[in-house]
């Protein structure tokens, strides 16, 4: 090919690549927030709030009620009301909502021992500035640590693995101090 055709070909290729990037950004821009709110049904709301606030270190940012009518109309419940307690890692609009709710009954499935024991969401990962204060709080609460905790990942970071009162796995990663 001659030089002019090669230059034109490169320009068309670059234009198509740029157009693809623009289309890709439009495809991803349909969300009004970059935060995913996660709803977790627990057996005992007070016990779970205690674990996440006093053990993990989350902050309570609010609560609301799903009444019988809305629960049924929305498809969230079959007409059962529930209170929802909202927690976050920090009280900011950019922080993920961890929404705890209870219907005052135990899970209908056994508590998993490992993440491969069930399907669906199995664990969350929380990056922390210092693991030792969390380890100390969880130890004081008599929370069992899984595996060899803390497990070194590299020169700076360690890994701690625990389960909340309902068996959801919590992966904590960060330096010890």
- Selected from 3.40.640.10, 3.20.20.70, 3.10.180.10, 3.40.50.800, the CATH number assigned to the domain covering 35-105 reads 3.10.180.10
Q: Sketch the domain layout of the chain as residue ranges.
A: 35-105, 122-177
pLDDT at 49: 98
pLDDT at 34: 85
pLDDT at 154: 93
Q: Which residues of the chain have pLDDT under 50?
A: 5-9, 11-12, 14-16, 19, 22
Q: How much is the pTM? A: 0.80
User: Distance from first CA to last CA of the chain, Å, rounded?
Assistant: 62
Q: Which has the closest alpha carbon to 118: 176, 163, 62?
A: 163
Q: Which has the closest alpha carbon to 164: 49, 75, 85?
A: 49
**What b/e sequence results for 21-52 when a residue is b if at least 16 CB atoms lie within 10 Å of its CB, and e otherwise?**
eeeeeeeeeeeeeeeeeeebebeebeebbebb
pLDDT at 12: 46
Output the furthest CA–CA distance in the chain (Å, rounded). Answer: 76
Per the CB < 8 A criterion, the answer to whether 162 and 170 are in contact is yes
Q: Per CATH, which fold does 122-177 belong to?
A: 2,3-Dihydroxybiphenyl 1,2-Dioxygenase; domain 1 (3.10.180)
18-40: pLDDT as tens digits:
545 545 555 667 888 888 999 99
Fold matches, 35-105 and 122-177: yes
**What b/e sequence results for 146-163 when a residue is b if at least 16 CB atoms lie within 10 Å of its CB, and e otherwise?**
beebbeeeeeebbbbbbb
């Amino acid at each position: 090919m001659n030089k002019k055709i090669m230059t034109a070909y490169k320009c068309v290729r670059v234009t198509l690549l740029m157009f693809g990037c623009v289309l890709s950004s439009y495809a991803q821009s349909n969300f009004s927030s970059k935060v995913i709110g996660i709803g977790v049904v627990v057996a005992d709301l007070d016990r779970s709030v205690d674990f996440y606030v006093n053990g993990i270190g989350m902050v309570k940012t609010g609560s609301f009620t799903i009444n019988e009518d809305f629960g049924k109309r929305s498809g969230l419940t079959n007409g059962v009301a529930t209170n929802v307690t909202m927690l976050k890692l920090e009280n900011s609009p950019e922080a993920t909502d961890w929404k705890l709710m209870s219907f005052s009954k135990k899970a209908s499935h056994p508590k998993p021992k490992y993440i491969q024991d069930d399907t669906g969401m199995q664990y969350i990962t929380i990056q922390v500035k210092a693991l030792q204060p969390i380890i100390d709080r969880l130890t004081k609460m008599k929370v069992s640590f899984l595996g060899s905790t803390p497990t070194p990942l590299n020169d700076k970071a360690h890994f701690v693995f625990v389960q909340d009162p309902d068996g959801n796995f919590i992966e904590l990663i960060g330096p010890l101090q």
